[in-house]
Each structure stands twice: as structure tokens, then as C-alpha cells.
Amino acid sequence: MESVLVMPKPLPMQVILQECLYYDPETGELMWQLPDVQSRVVAGTRFGSKTSPGSGSNSTKYYYAGMFKGVTYYAHRLIWMYMTGKDPGNLMVDHINSQVDISLEVIIFLVLASGFAGFVDSIAGGGGLIQLPSLLISMPNTAPSLLLGTNKLPSFLGTLGATASYLRRVKPDFKLAFIMAIPAFVGSGLGANAATRIPKDAFKPLILFLLIGVAMYTWRKKELGLVENFRFARRHQVGMGAVAGLIIGFYDGIFGPGTGSFLMLILVALLGFAFLQASVTAKIVNLATNLGAIVVFGFHGKIMWILGLTMAVGNITGGFLGARWAIKGGSALIRKVFLIVTFILIIRLAYDTFLRS
């Protein structure tokens, strides 16, 4: 086999690749699903083997390359044709050692989107409605699990910055926050671990109807969350908070968008907090859910660290500005933003559940 491919070769047609090969976007592996006599391979084996793209024998970087119909190709170029139906020609289209090549324009777009996501999320949650779709749109041929993992890094750092801003002016219920955060951390890790095993679409109709109920209840209760109105004894409040933290943490790990909205709902509608105090308490719990997911995704190599840290610059900036605006506007402002974010999430889930093919 050639160790170096100097010039890109014209690629086989997409229909031929899809007939002979199978690409798993979760693992990034290109597999043979039909035997190839010319390449001397059997069905079920991985396409190609590691080969250094450079001339130095000590290079630690590598591509996968192999024979297809008697011709040597890089696996990542076949994957691009397999997924898009387009021959990339001389473009750098994929990765070396799992590091995805991203254009400057895409990086700028993702930093700006992350900044807006951090701004919205710091006020009433829902930043995942902006940041994760931005990753999916700008990097359509990257494994979804890699994007889910990368999304958690700027979310965590942005929430950390927003929380620090809140704590300068607002005193949260630290005991309840930590009691919710511990099971939320565990639940998030379990959810992230199950993210590639459970059909997430099955949850969408239930989540959709729950959110509709949340929006209607908050809309009709004009006074909801404007002032504190505790309904339960402290021990019952703590117990319900711990159970809610575990469930919402699992949801954040396996699905994500709307986590902040559900946390706000529990704290305001069920436990009786005002929106301002609920927002900072929810941030502490959300830190735990993001951290739990980062641990699991990072362990499985599903985070693009450089991209995530770059996006975090925008998220931290947006979170700082959003927290200052929320503190100035108080619970009334947060209630309005909460309703807007919830309605957007309802539209997003309705589209995903009933309209997307």
C-alpha cells in the first residue's frame, strides 16, 4: 500500500460507496459491509489501516488509508463522498488524530453563536437551543456525539462565569443548590453514557407536552416567580430538589436543550422561588450537569478541546453580560425571557417530532 498519496484521486460514486461500505458517525469508523476481492477484505472489517501523511518516519500523525476496487484512498475522503455525494478535490475535509479542520469563518460564527447562547442562558436557560444547532449546522459531517461533547465545554465555562457574576449581587440557596447538584452530576454522567444507546426520539413527544404545560402555566400565572412563595417544609423541599436534580441531570446528559428551563420550572413553580433567586440556583445545578457530561464525553474522546475552549471565550462574555442585565431587570425580566425561550424550545421540539423526515 502507498504510505503517501501525493495528489487526491477522483473518488468512486456515492452510490457505490454506500453499497460496499458502512460509515458509523458515532464512532467515526468506515467498515466493509460487502467483501471486496480486489482489496482482499471480508465484510465487517474496518476499511484501511494507519498510514502517515508525512514523509517523516517518526510522525505521530496519521490517516487511515486502504484499497477500494484496486485503488488506494484515504478513508476520510471516502467518508466525505459517502456523506455528501461530493468529491472534495484538493480541499482539506476531515481530520488527523480526530482533530477536525475548521475554517476561520466557521470558528468566528461559532464564537458569536456561543456568545449569544451564553447571554440567553445566563438569564433564563436555553442556551443549548442556540449553541448546539450552530455546531450541527456548521459541521454537518462530524459525529453527533463529538459535537454533543464539545458543546458541553463552553456551556460549562460560560455558566461558571455567569454564576460568579450572580453571586456578587444575589444570594442563592446554597444548601438546596448543592443537594440538587450532586445527583444532577451523577444523572448527567449516566445520561451522557446512555446517549448513544437509547433512542432519544422516544422522549421528544413527552418533553414537548411537558413544555407546553410549563408555558401555559407560567403564562396564566402572572404573579408566578415575581416573589418567593415557598409551599413545602424544608425537608420536603430538599427531597424534591434532589430527585429533580437526578432526573434533570440525566436529561441534560442524554438530550440537553431545555435543561435550564426545566430547572427554573422546578425551582419557581414547584418549590416557590422567585425567578432571580431561581436563576442563580439553577446555574449552580447546571454546572454539575455539564461537568458530569464533560467527564464522560472526555473519557470517551468525544470533545474537541481547542474548539470548545475557543467557543468558551464567547460564552463567558455573553454569560457575564446576560447576568448583569438579569440582575438589573430582576424577576420580571427573567420571567419574560423564560417564556420566550420556552416557546422557542416548543417550536423546535414540535418540528423535530412531527415535521422532520
pLDDT of res. 332: 84
Strand duo 99-100 + 95-96: pairing: antiparallel
Q: 221-280: per-residue pLDDT in tens?
A: 777 767 777 778 888 889 999 999 999 888 887 777 677 778 888 888 888 888 888 888
What is the DSSP-derived secondary structure letter of residue 94?
Answer: S
Give the residue from 156, 78, 94 showing the smallest Cα distance to 121: 156
- pLDDT of the residue at 199: 57
69: left (phi over 0), alpha (psi -120 to 50) or beta: left
**Highest-pLDDT range among 20-29, 215-224, 287-296:** 287-296
Q: What are phi and psi of 23, to 5 degrees?
A: -110, 125
Q: Output the average pLDDT for the chain.
A: 80
Rounded-to-integer distance, Cα 45 and Cα 37, Å:
13
Which range (9-13, 16-20, 206-210, 306-310) has the least confidence? 206-210
- Residues 206, 349: Cα–Cα separation, whole Å: 10
- Record the cell numbers describing residue 126, joined without a space: 436555553
User: Amino acid identity of 39?
Assistant: S
Q: What is the pLDDT of residues 38-82, one digit of tens each?
A: 667 778 788 888 776 544 444 445 678 888 888 888 888 888 888
pLDDT digits (tens, 9 = 90+) for 82-91: 877 877 665 5
Q: What type of residue sits at position 218?
A: T
- 3-state percent helix, strand, coil for the chain, nearest multiple of 5: 65, 10, 30
| 64, β-bridge pairs | 50
pTM of model > 0.95: no
CA distances from residue 30 to 33, 70, 172, 195, 306 in whole angstroms, order as listed: 10, 17, 50, 21, 25
How sure is the predictor about 311, in pLDDT bands with cuts at 50, 70 and 90? very high
Among 59-68, 140-149, 207-216, 284-293, the range scoring the smallest mean pLDDT is 59-68
Alpha helices in the chain (DSSP H): 14-20, 75-84, 104-124, 128-138, 144-167, 174-194, 204-220, 234-254, 259-265, 275-299, 305-350
Q: Rounded to an integer, what distance in angstroms lies between the CA atom of residue 126 and that of residue 115?
A: 13
What pLDDT was estimated at residue 310?
Answer: 95
Segment 153-190, tens digit of pLDDT: 999 999 999 999 988 888 888 889 999 999 999 988 88
At 313, the pLDDT band (50, 70, 90 cuts) reads: very high
Q: Which tens digits make up the pLDDT trace of 323-338?
A: 999 888 888 888 888 8
Q: What pLDDT band is residue 29 in, cutting at 50, 70 and 90?
A: confident
